[in-house]
A = this chain, B = another copy of it.
Amino acid sequence: MTHIYNDPRGFKEDMIEGFVRAHRDRVRRVPNASAVMSSRAPVKGKVALIIGGGSGHYPAFCGLVGEGLADAAVIGDIFTSPSAEQVYRCTKAVEGGAGVVYSFGNYSGDVMHFGLAEMRCESEGIDVRTVLVTDDVASAPPEQREDRRGIAGDLYVFKVAGASAHRGDPLDEVERLARKANDHTRTVGVAFGGCTLPGKSEPLFRVDPGRMEFGLGIHGEPGVSTSELLPAPELARLLVGKLLEEAPPDADGTVALMLNGLGSTKYEELFVLYRYVSELVERAGLRIHHPLVGEYVTSLDMAGCSLTFLWLDEELRELHDAPARTPAMIWEVKR
C-alpha cells in the first residue's frame, strides 16, 4: 500500500522535486520537462543515452542517471509512459551532437511515445536509435523474443549502453552493443502480492495466501500461471531452470546475475534465496560475476522477486565492469 503522498495527481511532480533535492550533486531537472539529466549533460561529441518509462520502479529509471550510465531519464506517471513531448524536450536538452540512443522496456505506450519523439527529432536532424529491452522469458516464447516485455534486465542493457557511450563509442557501436546486451539478457520473476497505487486502497491484483504467480509484470500485471508458494530451494530451482533453458549459443559460461526484489520482498529474503540460486548456478558449471542482490527495478510495494542473467563475453564484460556513478548506485567491480 502507498501511504505517503499529498495530492495523488501531483505524486510524480512531488517525487521528481524530492529526488532532485536529494541528489543535487549528480542530477538536475530538465527544464520544462518531467525528466532528470546528469549534471554533466550535455556532453559535446558523446552519444546520449536516454532511458525512461513510468514511475514506480525506483531505482529505475531516474536513479540510474549519471556518469557511465544514462544521460537522462524521462519520467511518466506511475506505470504510465511519458508523453512524446516530454521525450522530445529531454532529447533536445541532453543530445551532444553525436546522436542519441533511447532504451526502455518493450511496452506499447512507451514504444508509441518514444517512437513519435524519435520521428520528430530525426526530422530536426538528430540521429536517434531505439533499443527495446525484451528480457522477460515468461511473456512470449523464445521464437518471439521481440514481443517480450522488459523487466529487471533493463539495468544490464542500460549499463552496457551507458559504458559504451561514456568511453566515446560512435552511435552505431553504442546501438550494436546495447542490442547485444539485450540479446544476452534473460529474466524470470514471481509475485506473491500486488501493489497499490497512491490514493487507492485496493491492490492492482491479489495472490491467494500460500500461492504465487509465475511470470510477473512490473506494472501490476499478474503472472502467466499460478502455483503453490514454493520453499526457497524449489523456488531457486524454478527460476534458475527457466534461465538455463535459454542460454545463448555463444555464451562462454560466465553470467552477471541480478536477484531483484520488487518492493516489499526484503533483502534478508533475497539473501536466503541467493544461497540456493548461487549453489544451483555453480552446480550447472557457470561462473557468477559480480552478483547483485537487492532492489534494482521495483514495482512500488509489490511482493515478489526476479532473477536475471546477463550472459557475458569479453566485450560485454568490459562494459559491464566499467565504473558508473548515479544517485542509486556507485558501480565498482573488483577484479
Q: Which residues of B contact A269 (CB under 8 A)?
A: 2-5, 198
Known interface pairs A263-B264, A266-B300, A301-B266; A192-B271 also in contact (CB < 8 Å): no
Q: Which residues of B contact A21 (CB under 8 A)?
A: 274-275, 278, 291
10 closest cross-chain pairs (CB), A and B: A18-B271, A18-B275, A264-B264, A58-B267, A4-B269, A18-B274, A330-B330, A3-B192, A14-B272, A264-B301
Known interface pairs A21-B278, A22-B293, A334-B25; A14-B266 also in contact (CB < 8 Å): no
Q: Which residues of B contact A291 (CB under 8 A)?
A: 21-22
Q: Which residues of B contact A82 (CB under 8 A)?
A: none
From B3, B25, B63, B232, A265 is in contact (CB under 8 Å) with B3
Q: Which residues of B contact A4 (CB under 8 A)?
A: 232, 235, 265, 269-270, 272-273, 305
- A233 CB-CB contact with B under 8 Å: yes
Q: List 18 A-B contacts (CB under 8 A).
A: A4-B270, A4-B305, A5-B231, A6-B231, A11-B272, A14-B275, A14-B276, A15-B272, A15-B275, A17-B271, A18-B270, A18-B272, A18-B273, A18-B275, A21-B278, A58-B267, A264-B301, A266-B300
Q: Which residues of B contact A6 (CB under 8 A)?
A: 231-233, 272, 276
Q: How far is the CB of A152 from chain B (nearest CB, A)?
A: 15
- A286 CB-CB contact with B under 8 Å: no
- A107 CB-CB contact with B under 8 Å: no
Q: Which of A1-36 contact B (CB under 8 A)?
A: 1-6, 11, 14-19, 21-22, 25
- A97 CB-CB contact with B under 8 Å: no
- The chain A residues found within 8 Å of chain B, CB to CB, are 1-6, 11, 14-19, 21-22, 25, 55-56, 58-59, 63, 78, 192-193, 198, 201, 209, 212, 229, 231-233, 235, 263-276, 278, 291, 293, 295, 298, 300-301, 303, 305, 325, 330, 332, 334
From B17, B58, B209, B268, A266 is in contact (CB under 8 Å) with B58
Known interface pairs A3-B212, A209-B201, A266-B2; A19-B298 also in contact (CB < 8 Å): no
Q: Is the beta-carbon distance between B330 and A332 smaller than 8 angstroms?
A: yes
Q: Is the beta-carbon distance between A268 and B11 smaller than 8 angstroms?
A: yes
- State A209–B11 Cα separation when bound (angstroms): 20
Q: Is the beta-carbon distance between A19 and B58 smaller than 8 angstroms?
A: no
Q: Is the beta-carbon distance between A1 and B201 smaller than 8 angstroms?
A: no
Q: Is the beta-carbon distance between A274 and B22 smaller than 8 angstroms?
A: yes
Q: Which residues of B contact A271 (CB under 8 A)?
A: 14-19, 22, 58
Q: Which residues of B contact A330 (CB under 8 A)?
A: 330, 332
Q: Is the beta-carbon distance between A232 and B275 smaller than 8 angstroms?
A: no
The residue on B at minimum CB distance from A56 is B268
Q: Which residues of B contact A212 (CB under 8 A)?
A: 3
The residue on B at minimum CB distance from A299 is B266
The residue on B at minimum CB distance from A259 is B22
- State A298–B270 Cα separation when bound (angstroms): 14
Q: Is the beta-carbon distance between B267 and A63 smaller than 8 angstroms?
A: yes
Q: Is the beta-carbon distance between B233 and A1 smaller than 8 angstroms?
A: no
The residue on B at minimum CB distance from A195 is B266
Q: Which residues of B contact A334 (CB under 8 A)?
A: 25
- State A16–B14 Cα separation when bound (angstroms): 38
